[in-house]
Amino acid sequence: MTTLRTDCFHCGETLSPNESFPITYRNAEQPTCCAGCQAVANTIIQSGLDSYYSQRDKPADRAKPLPDELLAQLALYNDVSLQASFVLNVDADIREASLIMEGISCAACIWLNERHIRQLPGVISASINYSTLRARVRWDERQIQLSTILQAIAAIGYRAQPYDQARQEEGWQKQRKSALFRLWVAGLSMMQVMMFSVPIYMSKAGEIAPDWLQLMNWASLILTLPVVLYSATPFYISSWRDLKRRRTGMDLPIAIGVLATFIASSYSLITGHGEIYFDSVSMFVFLLLTGRYLEMSARRKAGAATEQLVKLIPAFAHKINAQGTEEVTVNSLQIGEQILVKSGETIPVDGIVRQGSGEVSEALLTGESLAIPKTAGMQVTGGTLNLASPLHIEVSQIGENTRLAAIVRLLDQALAQKPRLALLAEQVSGWFVSILLITAALAWLYWHLHDPIHALPIMVAVLVISCPCALALATPVALTAATGHLAQLGLMVARSPALETLAQITDVILDKTGTLTHGEPRIQHYIASHSSEENARAIAASLEATSAHPLARAFVMSGAPLAQEMQTYPSGGLSGIVDGVLYYIGHPEFVNSQCAMLMPDSIRHAEGSLIALASTTTWLGTFVVADTLRHDAAASIQALHDAGLRLHLVSGDSNATVQALALNMHIKNAVGRATPSDKLAYISALQQQGRRVLMIGDGVNDAPVLAKADVSVAMGAGVDVAHAAGDMVLLNNQLARLPQALALAKKTRNIIQQNLVWAVAYNLAALPLAVSGHITPWIASLGMASSSLFVVFNALRLSKKKGAA
């Protein structure tokens, strides 16, 4: 006999007897309560997403037709100026938005939204982080607009809005308050129940009158009800969600233990036969919730170093206008506008200093502790702190296009990936729970046959004490803490598994230009002939001001006038008129051919890259230009040597230059004139010998080589970190961070191993004790909570700066 449904198939609301809004679900007609729910359900089913209804934990919110006001509001998000704060222009027509999702209640909601969005024509990718509810959606602007995506999300009963860190913080506070209130209810109940239980435990048999004993037991039941029906509900919801997905989760043993103990105790109280354990129920729920709350707070602390990056950008800025300044929201700023950043304020945008000079701290962004001087014409990065005098800054990038936003995207990408150990721990946890349930059932059966009174508490102790939470937390918490620590050092992890591999590195390959050196030519010294160095530099700056040659950057001088009648001579140099005089600059042989005065003999025997300067009649002088070593290169190389690593210098520069640098830096293996294919072959040869290779390059020119290495670090200062290749990006270009990163990677590996050993050893020791009846349920809950906390607090050692020393 078929039972007629009285509630809405989509939202669970009671059906009206006078209205009918049927849908067809898996060849069966189902009722809905209104046109809104009917439309949403049809959309889900027709999109091929009908599995949502079998996976969800609870009915959806009641759907309502989108009002015209909401449609108009969503259409506003197509405005390019409004998108500036949360939409990234990936390419000419490709956009990526950072959104905060509302209405998500379970993993099935994530599944539904991701697939629904991905099916929209023009959507390239969509992913939602269940922990933060932050969604990243990428689409082709030629095929679909953002408002259409937001409407599609609203059409299935959810809401998506531009990501707002304050909104996320509000969600965390709400979750924290809920956890604290559940903990408070469980703690209050535990104390009250123990007031009745302690006299019973301490009195002799028959000392308490049966009526009073019955009254105290009933009072214990009533006081335990809030714990079972409210405080413990997170365990039930999680267990039900896992069971519907046909798997055994870590909360399932706890849920079974709580319910079994409470039901059995209630049965004993009603029938007057058997033991009563209401005190154990309230106590181990309280201890478990205490452990969960401390664990939640510790995990948030582990990821605090990465989350604080999101908070660096202020909400308001001082916009400069004809009347002076006005305070406006950062989101309303336009590229090309100017803002005033006062001393002690955080710079809200990427920009160029147009007026003023001072110092800027990039400590929170790159880990650079020293203040960086900034003058007119220099670039500044949003999220850095102005330490000295006021600066007038022209806006060049805002919102999702800033360097800080690109760094946050790197961290999102890294934390979304799961390394091999984390995946293995999840798999082990899955079958471990199944084994635990079987063990608890067998323990109950054995003790029921031999000592029925102790069968239930022993079964509960087995279920609770061996929960594999510590095993599942062992790896991800350590990796989160280590990733946050590296972010503080200025080393961004783009791919989380790289941290695991970094601890196994045996060989380090370094590029020369842009890695060991600054990658920018600088004047080493000046060989004077018939002009002072100051005068020669001024003339050279005018001549080289518009040149695209790499060596021209060595002569850049602010305010230098442009030379007139410029002419370029391929493979030779260039000429131009400065103050009415024709000058030549370039290769000494070229300049010598244009000047009536012969080249000085001292120039013929000079070493290095030479740039000569002369007029048609007079040889002025010669500059020796070179790419200088980074100040910390020698110390960093020595630290890598001391760590027992084999170092290799592989560069496209001349062999003589590379060998000379290698000799100076005590690097035994050096190869010059190496093409990208030569570098690939070099890495392959090392890997075939069983070596694990770390490649350090500039992140742009070395992209294929970086991809080939086991782990790669891209030098990230001055480049777009969103496009820099590499498993990690060194934002501040400080080579001294590399030995610290290697040490931290090894410490991370050791802590992960410690956590895994502890988790396995604890369960191996605790399970036999529980099965043999030596552990009570409340001690079991204390042990389980303590094991998880040990893992989390052990991992937090990676957050301390001394951990990378």
How high does pLDDT run on average in the chain? Answer: 78
Q: What is the pLDDT of residues 468-493, one digit of tens each?
A: 666 666 676 777 778 778 877 878 77
pLDDT, tens digit, for every residue of 234-269? 888 877 766 765 666 667 777 877 888 788 788 878
For residue 658, is pLDDT > 50? yes
* 8 A C-beta contact, residue 751 and residue 441: no
CA distance 121 to 136: 17
Q: What is the mean pLDDT of residues 184-208?
A: 77
**Higher-confidence residue: 777 or 153?**
153
- Average pLDDT (272-298) is 72
User: What's the mean pLDDT in 677-692?
Assistant: 88
Residue 586 CB partners (closer than 8 Å, separation 6+): 569, 572, 573, 574, 611, 612
Per-residue pLDDT at 411 exceeds 60: no
3-state SS, residue 103: coil
How much is the pLDDT for 612? 92
Q: What is the pLDDT of residues 375-384, one digit of tens each?
A: 888 888 888 8
Q: Which two tokens stand for residue 359?
A: 């110092």
Taking only Cα atoms into account, the Rg of the chain, rounded to an integer number of angstroms, comes to: 34
pLDDT at residue number 709 = 84
> Phi and psi dihedrals of 614, rounded to 5?
-155, 160
H or E element that contains 695: strand 693-697
d(CA 463, CA 467): 7
Burial class (CB in 10 A: 0-12, 13-18, 19+), 121: exposed
The pTM of the full predicted model, rounded to 2 decimals, is 0.56
Average pLDDT estimate for 563-578: 85
Q: What is the pLDDT of residues 9-19, one digit of tens each?
A: 877 777 777 76
* More confident: 587 or 408: 587
Copy the structure tokens of residue 204.
């002799």
CB atoms within 10 A of CB 711: 27
Q: How far apart are CA 564 and CA 543, in angstroms?
A: 9
Please tell me the distance from the alpha carbon of residue 200 to that of residue 212, in angstroms, as a whole number: 10
Q: What is the pLDDT of residues 515-549, one digit of tens each?
A: 888 777 788 889 888 899 999 999 999 998 877 66
- Report the pLDDT value the prediction gives residue 540, as an integer from 0 to 100: 92
Confidence at residue 2, expressed as pLDDT on a 0 to 100 scale: 47
246: alpha, beta or left, given left = phi > 0 and alpha = psi -120 to 50?
left
Lowest mean pLDDT segment, chosen from 66-70, 347-351, 711-715, 789-793: 66-70
What's the confidence (pLDDT) of residue 686?
92
124, 139 Cβ separation under 8 angstroms:
yes
Q: List for the chain the helix, strand, coil content (%; round to 5).
A: 50, 20, 30
Strands 693-697 and 358-361: unpaired
In the predicted structure, residue 100 carries a pLDDT above the cut 60 = yes
Residue 751 has pLDDT above 80, yes or no: yes
Q: Which residues pair with 729 in a beta bridge?
A: 492, 714
The pLDDT value given to residue 85: 64
Site of tokens 């934390």:
415
Residues in the chain: 805
Contact of 631 with 518, CB cutoff 8 Å: no
pLDDT of 604-650, one tens digit each?
777 667 889 999 999 999 998 877 788 888 899 999 999 899 999 98
Three-state helix/strand/coil letters over 393-442: EEEEECHHHCHHHHHHHHHHHHHHCCCHHHHHHHHHHHHHHHHHHHHHHH
Structure tokens at 630: 């980074």
Q: What is the largest CA-CA distance in the chain?
A: 124
E strand or H helix that includes residue 94: strand 94-102
